[in-house]
Amino acid sequence: MDDLNIRKSGRAGRITFTRPKALNALTHEMARAIHATLDDWRDDPDVKLVIIDAEGERAFCSGGDIAAVYRAGLEGDHQEGRSFFHDEYRMNAAIADYPKPIVAFMQGFVMGGGVGVGGHAGHRVVGDTTQIAMPEAGIGLIPDVGGTWLLARAPGRIGEYLALTGARMGAGDAIHAGFADSYLPESEWPAVIADLEETGDATRIVGVTPPPAPLATRDLSAFGGRDVAQIRAALEQAGDEETLKVLRRNSPLSMAAGLALVRAARGDRRIQDSLSREYRFTYRATAQTDFLEGVRAQLIDRDRNPNWTADASAEHVKALLAPLGENELHWEEQA
């Protein structure tokens, strides 16, 4: 397909994003193709490891291409989004549980759906241009694609902070927060990839000392608050107007649900549990949340002025995260 270059080279299976003009945004078709390719290579003796990278300097993958989901949702078709998230999440889990090493080289923007591809790889390489984020609260969604699984395992209250603010992490912060493993100057990546193709040995990746991690020393104790209101009160008391400005801009419902999801994921034993819980929200997103308005304001009209109207009460959050019955995201063959 035009959006991915899938091939075998030496001992490596190669998956390269090839739509740099769209910041390598992930379409539904791309998600299904990645999953199918991993299935094909699972028992292929010629493939010792898988390398996922991207063309262009600006982005590894800037997120999911949700234009079709938006258009369908406006017309009352909620199945388009449900199908996209269903297939994307199963692909995310396949990456996380893959029996062979997967190495992701993540330059530039790595956001949302990009984290769902690169963030669950067994070997995650970042460089000087890397900017990783889960900015879904700004478009009326929640950290999904297994994002709550990663956020829940970040040190301290970093998970809550990133979920509510959508703040971007450079290489140092990404490694500290558990979203990446190794830092290498991007000029060295081609030689490393060539070596991986020749040897099929992911243990040969040796990172160098990463840049500083500002999050490691930042006081995020306010994000230990019971709910978003308590977090905002603590930030007001601390005089952190910069962070408050971000929280005022994001969807109240998305922040409340994201907070609940990150904390629930701390008790999960496997990523599938987190993905299934995320799916409960995204299954209902085009019908019952701020998602369509957020996409309109940030990605379609780009007026950056969303009119958040969705109910952000604890009762509504609980309803959005309630089991879906026969529509739950199931994992029988991946259990």
Active site (annotated) includes residue 108: no
- Model confidence over 14-66: pLDDT tens digits? 999 999 999 999 999 999 999 999 999 999 999 999 999 999 999 999 999 99
Residue 125: φ, ψ to 5°? -105, 130
144 is catalytic: yes
* 113 in active site: yes
Q: Over 80: is that where the pLDDT of 332 sits?
A: no
Mean pLDDT over each residue of the chain, to the nearest integer: 96
Specify whether 64 is catalytic: yes
pLDDT tens digits, 234-276? 999 999 999 999 999 999 999 999 999 999 999 999 999 999 9
Residues 272 and 331 sit within 8 Å (Cβ to Cβ): yes
pLDDT, mean of residues 313-328: 97
Which residue in the list 13, 64, 127, 170 is annotated as catalytic? Answer: 64
Percent residues over pLDDT 90 in the chain: 96
pLDDT for the residue numbered 334? 44
Query: Is residue 335 very low, low, confident or very high in pLDDT (cuts 50, 70, 90)?
Result: very low
pLDDT at 297 over 60: yes
The per-residue b/e assignment along 289-321, b for 16 or more CB within 10 angstroms, e otherwise, is: bbbbbbbbbbeeeeeeebebebebeeebbeebb
Which domains are seen in the chain, by residue range? Answer: 4-328 (3.90.226.10)
Q: Which residue has the tokens 């234009």?
A: 67
Are residues 117 and 104 in contact, defined by beta-carbon separation less than 8 angstroms? yes
> What was the pLDDT predicted at 330?
87
| 8 Å CB contact between 81 and 104 | no
For the chain, report the end-to-end CA distance as a whole number of angstroms. Answer: 30
Above 60 in pLDDT, residue 93? yes
User: One of 13, 73, 112, 113 is an active-site residue; which one?
Assistant: 113
Residues 53, 80, 136, 290: which is the catalytic one? 136
Helix, strand or coil, per DSSP, at residue 17: strand
Round to whole Å and give the CA distance between 174 and 129.
12
Which of 134-138, 241-245, 285-289, 330-334 bottoms out in mean pLDDT, i.e. has the lowest?
330-334
